[in-house]
Amino acid sequence: MGSCPNLSLFLQGQNQDVREIGQNLSVDNVLEGSVQVAGDNLRVTARISNVQDGRQLWSDIYNRKMEDMFAIQDEIAQAIFKALKVKLLGE
């Protein structure tokens, strides 16, 4: 995926199954999510799914005020990193 920095933009709006996306990208797992903004409220959803069977390995929803976007980014990135470490490498 390093050769396509705008992959999320490329896939945005496409109605593909996570299994199809993963197979097209030759990956075992896919991270997907969404961002919603209402006033100064932010909701980010994130989920990691297994490409082989489409099973969700991890998911979470983050509801925050948009006071410090960098702190929110860091929090979500750390949570995803921890989930990937546990789910993909085993405890």
* pLDDT (tens digit per residue) in 8-63: 545 666 667 778 878 888 888 888 888 999 999 999 999 888 888 888 888 999 99
Strands 56-65 and 41-50: antiparallel
Domains of the chain with bracketed CATH: 7-89 (3.40.50.10070)
Measured at the CA of 15, the angle between CA 17 and CA 45, to 5 degrees, comes to: 80
- Sign of the CA dihedral running 24, 14, 70, 5: positive
Share of the chain above pLDDT 70, in %: 77
pTM to 2 decimal places: 0.69
Q: What is the pLDDT of residues 60-86, one digit of tens each?
A: 999 999 888 888 889 988 988 888 776
Dist CA 59 CA 4 (whole Å):
24
Measured at the CA of 37, the angle between CA 36 and CA 42, to 5 degrees, comes to: 85
